[in-house]
Amino acid sequence: MNNVRNKKRANKSLPFFFKDEFKVFFVIIFVSTILLVTTFTFDKVPPILNRGIQPATFPKGLLVLIMFLTAVIYFLSFKNPWKKEKKLPKPFFLTILSFILFIIISKTLDFFLAISVLSIFVSYNWGEKRIFYLLLVGILFPLVVFIFFEMILGLRFPPGIITNLYYY
């Protein structure tokens, strides 16, 4: 109980733009505004073909609703501040980094290689240092999954330096 109170107090002492409530409010309003502006670029349907409402009207309505409700939760948070979340640890950022690596490798080199690299990277950074287990999660298991999907579902994976060896 005391911890929660202390956390709330700690959150209260921060300038408003450092508070989680404001960050969430700002991000949602910012993204919604960009999307709302985008809706004005949608093509319009001539009245003769228009059935009911214009294609942009429905998303516009949703975005306005989202912005309104976001404002409501922000103003409600003045009275009841959210509890402050713990700082994110290093493995979280390394996992995010592994996602970025995955995207780069799958786009430029190979899909299978990307899965292997991510698996080994994540497993290692989460504390697995034994070579056998790293090879298990990084090579053996993705290989089994790859072959399983390929044979059972007849899936063709995107071409790449390793995948091509399998197909040709």
Partner 1 sequence: MMAPLFSSKLLIVLIFGTLFGLILGVLPGLGPTTGGALILPFTMTLDPLSAIVLLTSIYCAGTYGGAITAVLINTPGTPAAAATCLDGYPLAQKGEAGRALGMATVSSTVGGIFSVIVLVFFAPVLAQLAYEFGQPEYFALAIFGLTMLASIGEGSPIKNLIAGAFGILISTIGKDFMTSIDRFTYGINELSVGIGFIPVVVGLFAISEMLTQSTILDQVFKRVALKAVKLPSLDDYKKTWKTILRSSGIGSFIGVLPAEGGTVASLIGYSEAKRFSKEPEEFGKGSIEGIAGAEAANNAATGGAMVPTLALGIPGSATTAVILTGLIIHGVRPGPDLFREQPDFLYGIFGAMLIANVLFFIFGFFGAKLFARITLVPNKILWPMIFAVSVCGTYSLSQSIIDVWIMLFFGVLGFFMRRFGFSVVPVIIGLILGELVEGTLRQSLVIFDGNWFMFLTRPIALTFFILSLIALAFPLLRSKKTKKVI
Instruction: Tell the smallest beta-carbon distance from residue 45 to partner 1 (Å).
Output: 5
DSSP 8-class letter at 138? I
Look at residues 128, 144, 145, 137 and name the one whose alpha carbon lies nearest to residue 94: 128
CA dihedral 149, 154, 157, 162 (to 10 degrees): 80
- Of 69 and 165, the one with the shorter C-beta distance to partner 1 is 69
Rg (alpha carbons) of the chain, rounded to whole number: 24
Instruction: Judge whether 128 and 134 are in contact, CB under 8 Å.
Output: yes
Query: CB of 168: closest distance to partner 1 in angstroms?
Result: 19
| Residues that bind partner 1 in the complex, under the rule CB under 8 A | 20, 24, 28, 35, 38-39, 42-43, 45, 49-53, 55-56, 58-59, 62-63, 65-66, 69-70, 72-73, 76, 80, 82, 85-86, 88-89, 91-92, 94-96, 99, 102-103, 106-107, 111, 115, 118-120, 122-123, 126-128, 133, 136-138, 141-142, 145-146, 149, 152-153, 155-158
